[in-house]
Structure 1
């Protein structure tokens, strides 16, 4: 934790109450549902690298909204493979109807709208020779195409805001679809990609649209995410990476008014997590900032904070976990993802999470990297969680206590875990 913080008091009575009033119980928040509309091209439609339409990033966003209990409806039928900004704009202006629903009606009813548009406008002006692995284009035509993208997006955003001023718009930045290009052609193509993304971001700003960058997350594992060199579409792991880029930005607008006091040092972080639907208060109207957080409760929060495949996970085969155990599905999923593991064939869902365990699960959940360069005076090199604690510190999520200690065996509270989770999700809290 940051040195400015004082250690929060630990209430044993409140900790015990948490075992019977878990995070996932009914809470003192508004329960307004959201309608989610996805507009765009083949990426929004969910086209895979093998040319089939299936689950894409929009489907996983929809699943995540449903996971936190706010999804009313999801519509991606106006997302079409090959669509350009001109075609999307024409659909809106002409009020295209599909399956008895008009696009303007869908826009009016949506609380959340995601858009990916612009790539096809330019790809049709670029020749990618997959045999020779080179890119060629006419600069004049490409410049005109960039200008048209900006103009069309302005018209799209204008029309959306006319129809629905309150809609939250999230617009996708594109990744490099040609990671196999030799360096000389990457030097030509990547500036074009940067220019397109700048147009998308700058065009959306006046309308309050949130730009979602995907380039870095795809680039980290591009060869794996884009397995077909003849196709620009990702596999399911790639779509999950894009969905997580969106999820870090999406705010579902949940609100909570708590009866008890929230420590000032954690107020912004708790508000952030509440608004994202990741955490909330108890049925009695309290938040319980000083309550100790259990292993299952931290797993639930992480499962809400990170988008995973919505396929059911296999039985984790813990001796103390059955299908009737509170949080069973989450325990199974987080075990499958390698974030949590049992001890002596038990998961111990009701056990409190220690600061060392917190470091481990956050590092694993967010796939954080470190060098082992950060040390604390109470964490030896041979301590089982030393590398996780160092990595957490290297990533700016913790700096320990002012006396140079980390106190790895201390339990962690809801407020403390909220602070750490917020920093992992959002760099502005570091």
Structure 2
């Protein structure tokens, strides 16, 4: 290692002094950059950290110092430089670390919303999906004023799709790794998709047809199709059980991937609601499977908060509908209404981690 460079560098540190101030939108005055790392001068001048500082210098990269007037100085030339030349760095002081983007800009905190079409806000009026409501509430809380929303909801997404994206999709991994808060709503398609496909197949209907809903309604209303329907319904528990099993397999990987990418993020997970009216004959067919997935989600001491949407929908006493789905009437929209999204949002506000003493 070049001792002359180290000596010159340490000399600049001593001249600048030992005082630092908290970082907000940019790195504080009294900061030194070594390659892709940055340190508070108090921290850099502490003899207890000399090995870490020496290793950072040895790793190479430009050396810059931010003086107490806020100017960036190239430590080798002594010339003032524009902030645009400053690289993205991980800043460290005695309190902790902060990520800064290039050009000395504080890395924006992110709320990453993961999941399916419910996450995407489907069937809510614009701007009133539960993610939008939760985001607006979150950014009103002190410390979250500049938080940015990245909605990664994908219509039709199943648990295995979310797991794949967390493992392989660059955009998903990047957003989650930078997230301060993460919401997850997934699992409904593990159950609903195979059921709709099974019913459609039994009546030789194409789910992609623009008239599928009306065609299904006519098929279900015909007395001649009752035997076919009964046979299809008798096979549903097996299909639903398979969906629950797949979710259980995927869930461990989903949470593991998220915690690896964003170990300090606050995570909120919604339980599944039953999209069927309690008087619908299929309600009792779906409910055990939904409860099966919810039991997995509500695993104690899992390190995330649970928004118990199932209970909120089940116990709802209002007159405005939360959902309108029914196979028998041909209403195939399983998504929450705008009011339903509001109830999901409220469940997030009151979400709690399930903790059981060991």
TM-score of the superposition, structure 2-length normalised? 0.52
The structural deviation recorded for 1:168 is 1.4
- What are the within-5 Å matches in structure 2 for residues 28-43 of structure 1? 34-43=109-118
Quick check: which one's strand share is greater?
2
Question: Partners in 1 of 2:126 and 2:249 — Cα distance?
Answer: 29
The structural deviation recorded for 1:53 is 6.6
In the other structure, the counterpart of 1:212 is 307
Question: Partners in 1 of 2:322 and 2:193 — Cα distance?
Answer: 23
Residues 140/186 of structure 1: CA separation in 2 closer, same or farther (3 Å cut): closer
Question: Partners in 2 of 1:250 and 1:73 — Cα distance?
Answer: 22
Residues 142/234 of structure 1: CA separation in 2 closer, same or farther (3 Å cut): closer
Which string of whole-angstrom CA distances, capped at 9 and with x for unpartnered residues, describes residues 266-305 of structure 1?
xxxxxxxxxxxxxxxxxxxxxxxxxxxxxxxxxxxxxxxx
Which string of whole-angstrom CA distances, capped at 9 and with x for unpartnered residues, describes residues 155-200 of structure 1?
1111111112111111110111111653x43222222221121122
Answering whether residue 194 of structure 2 is matched by residue 125 of structure 1, we say yes
Which of 119, 136, 140 aligns to 1:63? It is 136
If you compute each CA radius of gyration, which structure gives the higher value, 1 or 2?
2
SS of the aligned residue for 1:125 comes to helix
Question: Partners in 2 of 1:140 and 1:186 — Cα distance?
Answer: 16
Residues 72/158 of structure 1: CA separation in 2 closer, same or farther (3 Å cut): same
Which string of whole-angstrom CA distances, capped at 9 and with x for unpartnered residues, describes residues 13-36 of structure 1?
xxxxxxxxxxxxxxxxxxx98521
Answering whether residue 338 of structure 2 is matched by residue 236 of structure 1, we say yes
- What are the within-5 Å matches in structure 2 for residues 376-395 of structure 1? none
Work out which structure has the larger RCO, using CA pairs closer than 8 Å and 6 or more positions apart in sequence: 1
Answering whether residue 322 of structure 2 is matched by residue 225 of structure 1, we say yes
Residues 77/185 of structure 1: CA separation in 2 closer, same or farther (3 Å cut): closer
Q: Is this contact kept in 2: 1:41–1:84, CA < 8 A?
A: yes
In the other structure, the counterpart of 1:94 is 168
In the other structure, the counterpart of 2:260 is 162
Which string of whole-angstrom CA distances, capped at 9 and with x for unpartnered residues, describes residues 36-57 of structure 1?
11100011110007xx875310
Which of 258, 279, 292 aligns to 1:195? It is 292
The structural deviation recorded for 1:76 is 3.8
Question: Partners in 1 of 2:146 and 2:252 — Cα distance?
Answer: 28
Q: Is this contact kept in 2: 1:225–1:237, CA < 8 A?
A: yes
In the other structure, the counterpart of 1:84 is 158
In the other structure, the counterpart of 2:348 is 246
Question: Partners in 1 of 2:217 and 2:301 — Cα distance?
Answer: 38
Residue ranges of structure 1 left out of the alignment (5+ in a row): 1-31, 97-101, 252-430
SS of the aligned residue for 2:239 comes to helix
SS of the aligned residue for 1:242 comes to helix
Question: Partners in 1 of 2:157 and 2:319 — Cα distance?
Answer: 24
Question: Partners in 1 of 2:134 and 2:118 — Cα distance?
Answer: 13
Q: Is this contact kept in 2: 1:170–1:246, CA < 8 A?
A: yes
Which string of whole-angstrom CA distances, capped at 9 and with x for unpartnered residues, describes residues 282-334 of structure 1?
xxxxxxxxxxxxxxxxxxxxxxxxxxxxxxxxxxxxxxxxxxxxxxxxxxxxx
SS of the aligned residue for 1:113 comes to strand
Residues 87/54 of structure 1: CA separation in 2 closer, same or farther (3 Å cut): farther
Give the total of aligned pairs.
210
SS of the aligned residue for 2:151 comes to coil
Question: Partners in 2 of 1:222 and 1:195 — Cα distance?
Answer: 28
Question: Partners in 2 of 1:250 and 1:76 — Cα distance?
Answer: 23
- What are the within-5 Å matches in structure 2 for residues 100-111 of structure 1? 102-111=171-180
SS of the aligned residue for 2:111 comes to strand
SS of the aligned residue for 1:111 comes to strand
In the other structure, the counterpart of 1:151 is 249
Question: Partners in 2 of 1:168 and 1:218 — Cα distance?
Answer: 24
Question: Partners in 2 of 1:250 and 1:194 — Cα distance?
Answer: 18
Residues 144/188 of structure 1: CA separation in 2 closer, same or farther (3 Å cut): closer
Which string of whole-angstrom CA distances, capped at 9 and with x for unpartnered residues, describes residues 206-232 of structure 1?
541222211232231486122465111
TM-score of the superposition, structure 1-length normalised? 0.44
Residues 250/67 of structure 1: CA separation in 2 closer, same or farther (3 Å cut): farther
Residues 82/222 of structure 1: CA separation in 2 closer, same or farther (3 Å cut): farther
Q: Is this contact kept in 2: 1:34–1:71, CA < 8 A?
A: no
Q: Where in structure 1 do 4 or more consecutive aligned residues deviate above 4 Å?
A: 128-135
